[in-house]
Amino acid sequence: MSIKKIAVVTGSRADYGLLCPLMKLVQQDPNLELQIIATGSHLSKIFGMTCQTIEEDGFKINEKIEILSGQSTAVEVTKAMGKAVTGYADALQNLKPDIIILLGDRYEILAAAQAALIAKIPVAHIAGGDLTEGAFDDAIRHSITKMSHLHFVTHESAKNRVRQLGENPGRIFVVGHPGIDQIKRLNLLDRENLQKELDFLLQARNLLITFHPATLDPQPAKFQFEELLKALDRLGPSVGLIFTKPNADTEGISLIERLDQYVGRRKNAKSFSSLGQLLYFSTMKHADAVVGNSSSGIYEAPSFKKPTVNIGDRQKGRLQASSVIHCEPDQEDIFRAIQEAFVKDCSTALNPYGDGNSSERIFGILKGIKDPKALIKKRFHEISEFALTS
């Protein structure tokens, strides 16, 4: 029996933007039923209630699972994971999908994989095999891989890592990164219309800034964030600062509170809980550099030929373009890296994450699955059974 019902889990503005093109392909197919499970920051006022964005884009959310308490301590995040597993258990029982699609490495996505495993629902995982050594996302990502049955990876090295985890080579597909798909399809705003939509006057130079907690770093995230803010102040008021707020990780809410204080006292700065894909990529198009530690600076900024100042270890280990400048979470080093970004020529930078057609590749593979239940039973493929490429 071929796939009829495809469930997609989304827990944040970030993964929704990446999943959106694939969701549209499923929605438009008359032989398929798209089921959407929204959770995490989508359902939180603190993070912009971005579930509304999903619905405004023409999608129906089948199940909403509220898990956030309004605090971001390690204890509260752990409790949120427990709530998520319970919520997914009920959602999957109600929806009975033939397959569930998960992207990335967040804790609410790990909970979905756990629930699907027990419910005997096959999992298609996007972006397994990547590395982020500065966050516990790394361990979560690899754990999801072991509970998944189809692996849509972003590049060859990621494919090799998934194979090293004992997964069936015949079920690992290099598709590129879906973030590039949106860039290719969106009609981005010009400078004048972007300023109107942002209600913000762009300056002579402008930075798009996102800083998330590096969850494995021994130094509290607020200390690193203060170093970033000090470096930004040294640039002066002639540089526009456009922030997207941190995600729902441990310490995330304390960073949001500090960012609100910072932006409230500076005319050249503005922050947004969520810009949405059109405004976010339009801002990236017109910014002089992307600054922070978001994966977007690694995955998507190179497609705009824009430099990325990548702070600290949160993205350490990821495949990167020549446009990425690394620096320590230190005021002096951040300031130096931004100055380097302002003069860096990225015109020849190539994005190593594909050509913007990953959603079509994933969709085609899913459509070709004849019996999703046959994916459930897996065996460990020993490394001696295949030769790894370098």
pLDDT tens-digit map of 230-240: 999 999 999 99
Q: How many CA atoms lie within 13 A of 274 on its CB side?
A: 24
Confidence grade of residue 221 (pLDDT, cut at 50, 70, 90): confident
Q: For residues 9 and 102, is the Cβ–Cβ distance under 8 A?
A: yes
pLDDT of residue 390: 43
In sequence order, which residues have a C-beta less than 8 Å from that of residue 302 and are 6 or more positions away?
308, 321, 323, 324, 346, 349, 350, 351, 352, 353
pLDDT for 389 beyond 90: no
CATH 3.40.50.2000 fits 189-343, yes or no: yes
- The class (CATH top level) of 5-178+356-385 is alpha beta
pTM: 0.88
pLDDT in tens, 86-137: 999 999 999 999 999 999 999 999 999 999 999 999 999 999 999 888 778 8
pLDDT of residue 235: 97
- Helix (H, G, I), strand (E, B), or coil: what is residue 150? strand
Q: For residues 314 and 228, is the Cβ–Cβ distance under 8 A?
A: no
pLDDT above 90 covers a percentage of the chain that reads: 80
Average of per-residue pLDDT across 134-158: 94
Strand 269-272 relative to strand 289-292: parallel, antiparallel, unpaired?
unpaired
Q: Phi-psi region for residue 195, left (φ > 0), alpha (ψ -120 to 50) or beta? A: alpha
Mean pLDDT, rounded, of the chain? 93
Residues of the chain with CATH 3.40.50.2000: 5-178+356-385, 189-343
DSSP 243-285: EE---SSTTHHHHHHHHHHHHHT-TTEEEES--HHHHHHHHHH
Residue 59 is given by DSSP the state P
Q: Is 46 exposed, middle or buried (0-12, 13-18, 19+ CB in 10 A)?
A: middle
Dihedral of the alpha carbons of 53, 57, 60, 65, in degrees to the nearest 10: -20
Of 333 and 213, the one with more pLDDT: 333
